[in-house]
Amino acid sequence: MQLTRLLGGLMLGLGFAAAALAQTTMKISISTAQNSHQGVAIDTFAREVEKRTGGRYKVQTFYNGALGGERESIEAVQLGTQELAFSSTGPVPNFVPETKILDVPFLFRDKAHARAVLDGPIGQDLLTKFDAKGFKALAWAENGFRHMTNSKRDVKDPADLKGLKMRTMENPVHIQAYKAFGIITTPMAFPEVFTALQQGTVDGQENPLPVIISAKFEQVQKHLTLTGHVYSPCIFVMNKGTFDKLSAADKQAFVDAAKEATKANRARVDEDDAKGVADLRAKGMTVIDNVDKAKFVAALAPVQADFEKQFGKAALDQIRNYK
């Protein structure tokens, strides 16, 4: 009797041990603060993964570039030293060149147009291009439309950008376009930007309102111009080997969790965009919101011609005209 009880207890203990072992922990990181549209994305994702896999998978979340900048995080996912990352597409073309086309300035009319393209056949086809590079791209999410800030002067038209030293993402398309504006481009990882602005290493930077707000750039930047010059997607990437080892049901759980997180992320971007200008004005920023976009588009005509050669006019028109 005692032996049976002992064996029963042993089996129970082993059962608990197996259950404990059965939980796999993975890491995901962002370069921005937890209280941001990107924080909302990875917090929702972590919650959904745990829920959809019955707690067998736990996703640990890291913020503010705690595991490195976006480029380093994507690299770590490719190498398999980190399972997951959530990043803007800034450094992504360095790994998956086909995504470069999304960074062409003034390509998207508005957020609805951009979201339709990413959620439709064009965006979904681009996700498959990650496979050959060691990633599983789970879903497109959002950073928002990028705007210019600086500490020197109001930017009312393209000529005002000439000679400004601006931090850019480590992105070849952005750098080429901003040079055409006469900007002195300084590529830099996001976690270094606040200090660089504070110390005057650079005069300005460009980012969507949700990033400007969460990074508290109003503390080190006086002037904001709503240029909306580039739409900036975000993406959930996972190490391909890690994804391939999952069961079919768990693969689906991770993809569905990313889709759910995208909904929460986009809702937060909409919220930040709606209140952002008033919020930043109240904190002392000068905001130019009546921008003559046609002037900025015209200033980039030579570089747009080059982009048409690079990417093909048909491919760009397919995105521009997508309904």
Segment 138-157, tens digit of pLDDT: 999 999 999 999 999 999 99
∠ Cα 246 90 118 (to 5°): 60
In this structure, the dihedral spanned by the alpha carbons of residues 167, 171, 174 and 175, taken in order and rounded to 10 degrees, is 70
CB 42 within 8 A of CB 30: yes
Strand-strand pairing, 204-208 and 57-62: unpaired
Q: Give the amino acid at 203.
A: D
User: Domain range for residue 269?
Assistant: 2-320
For 53-94, the three-class secondary structure string (H helix, E strand, C coil) is CCCCEEEEEECCCCCCCHHHHHHHHHHCCCCEEEEECCCHHH
| Cα 115 versus chain centre, distance | 14
Distance CA 70, CA 48 (A): 23
Which CATH number is 115's domain given? 3.40.190.170
pLDDT tens for each residue of 53-69: 999 999 999 999 999 99
Q: In the structure encoding, which two tokens stand for residue 175, read together?
A: 């750098």
Choice between 293 and 12, residue whose per-residue pLDDT is larger: 293
Q: Which helix (H) or strand (E) holds 146?
A: strand 135-150
Q: What is the mean pLDDT of residues 160-179?
A: 95
Strand-strand pairing, 223-239 and 84-88: antiparallel
Is the pLDDT at 96 greater than 60, yes or no? Answer: yes
pLDDT tens for each residue of 214-265: 999 999 999 999 999 999 999 999 999 999 999 999 999 999 999 999 999 9
Is the pLDDT at 104 greater than 70, yes or no? Answer: yes
Number of domains forming the structure of the chain: 1
pLDDT for 17 equals 46
Q: 3-state DSSP call for residue 169?
A: coil
What's the whole-number average pLDDT of the chain? 94
pLDDT tens for each residue of 300-316: 999 999 999 999 999 99
* Radius of gyration of the chain, Cα coordinates, nearest whole angstrom: 22
In this structure, the dihedral spanned by the alpha carbons of residues 29, 34, 37 and 40, taken in order and rounded to 10 degrees, is 80
Q: In the structure encoding, which two tokens stand for residue 27, read together?
A: 């890491």
Question: What are the beta bridge partners of residue 9?
Answer: none
Q: What is the pTM of this model?
A: 0.90
pLDDT for 9 equals 55
Which class for 15: exposed (0-12), middle (13-18), buried (19 or more C-beta within 10 A)?
Answer: exposed
Q: Give the amino acid at 283.
A: K
| Cα 82 versus chain centre, distance | 17
CB 31 within 8 A of CB 191: yes
| Cα 260 versus chain centre, distance | 16
